[in-house]
Amino acid sequence: MSEVEPPEVIRVVAGPVERRLDEILTEEHARWVTIDGDLAEPLEALRRFVLGGGKRLRPAFCHWAYIGAGGRDDPTEASTDPAPTIVDVGAAFELLHAFALIHDDVMDGSGTRRRAPTVHIEFEAVHHAGVWRGEPRRFGEGVAILVGDLACVYADRLLVGAPPTARQIWNELKIELNIGQYLDVLGTARAGTDIATARRIARYKSGKYTIERPLHLGAALAGRDVELGASLSAYGDPLGEAFQLRDDILGTFGDSDRTGKPVGDDLREGKPTPMLAEAIARVDDPVGRALLARVGAPDLSDDEVVALQDLLTTCGARSEIERSITTLSERAIAAMEASTLREDARRALVTMARYVADRQH
């Protein structure tokens, strides 16, 4: 599979959102370092994290639903409002995503994110270098939680100008995100192997807040969330699941130079993915079962990761998930083509569906 870069319909949204994020975080840094210079480090860490990577999918889905529902053609054009609400909401999605990823890295004990040390590892190193009191690990995790919380607060602040229906959708998606994360933590601890549960985790932890809810919020900004909600869900729900299934494949087989995380991370963490559940349902020989039982072991070796990758392929679990991604993305595309959104938005969202299904990072 050749490299798949974000299409223009995503990049055109990313620019204004990134400029807004830079503006917000630069202002906050300047405001707080005048009170105490020590506040520079966490604010700089947040700024690096938010602006240091990411595909800006959530702002793009929100933007094109807004345009498709009749929102202003160019929300980035000059106006009396230097940051239109749709741009603020896009920035809010990126800050909420930062909150989720920073906390997720703490929960998973991940050491790398976007080819750099995770926030909790960064501040653990700060503690070590300062030869400070207490446990460096706890300090690093505590600071990372606070940095994530700060991102969430900034995200909420950006929704102040949104209509009440949009804020209701925003609050619901945050609840769904936390519910999904709990189910993921629980499934990892229990070594969950149920396919239906694994798909439910994928839907709530990532799919809904990545695609379906940003679509709903975009329509709400244009005052048409009730009218368009069902057709947007018909597109966003299956595509959200396809997005997470692709993430699961990348988390097991992805190139670390592209994903920015070590190969096989999901296997070492014991993530209860649908692909793993498929493999457990298919493998019945003692050697294969013993190898699958090693998933989630903290001392899982590189050789075992390679052996598990081979097993997931030969037992048909990987191909089954690939088939699911194709089926789900085709269902989403058909739903979008049948929708009543404006034609340019329909085309953009079909393009995004193909990118989400085929991406390599």
Residue-range domain boundaries for the chain: 8-358
Residue-level pLDDT at 194: 80
Token pair belonging to 32: 């707080």
CA separation for the pair 5, 91 (Å, rounded): 21
Residue-level pLDDT at 260: 58
Alpha helix (H) ranges present in the chain? 8-33, 40-51, 57-68, 85-108, 119-130, 136-158, 164-190, 195-202, 213-221, 225-253, 256-259, 265-269, 274-282, 286-292, 302-314, 317-337, 343-358
Residue-level pLDDT at 75: 47
Residue written as token pair 């809810």 = 213
Residue-level pLDDT at 166: 96
Count CB atoms within 10 A of the CB of residue 286: 8
pTM, 2 dp: 0.92
Residue-level pLDDT at 258: 61
Q: What is the DSSP string of 73-115?
A: S-TTS--SSSS-HHHHHHHHHHHHHHHHHHHHHHHHT--EETT
CA separation for the pair 283, 308 (Å, rounded): 12
Token pair belonging to 128: 């070590």
Dump pLDDT digits (tens) for 162-195.
999 999 999 999 999 999 999 989 988 887 678 8
CA separation for the pair 195, 133 (Å, rounded): 46
Which of 213, 187, 218 is CA-nearest to residue 108? 187
Residue-level pLDDT at 53: 87
Domain 8-358 in this protein, CATH class:
mainly alpha
In one-letter notation, the amino acid at residue 172 is E
CA separation for the pair 280, 105 (Å, rounded): 26
Residue-level pLDDT at 292: 95
Count CB atoms within 10 A of the CB of residue 316: 14
Residues 6+ positions from 200 with CB-CB distance below 8 Å: 183
Dump pLDDT digits (tens) for 283-305.
999 999 999 999 998 889 999 99
Residue-level pLDDT at 81: 43
10-residue averages of pLDDT along the chain (361 residues):
74 96 97 97 97 94 97 55 80 97 94 91 96 96 98 97 95 95 89 82 88 97 96 97 93 72 79 91 95 91 94 97 96 97 97 92 70
Determine contact, residues 57/348, Cβ cutoff 8 Å.
Answer: no
Residue-level pLDDT at 80: 40
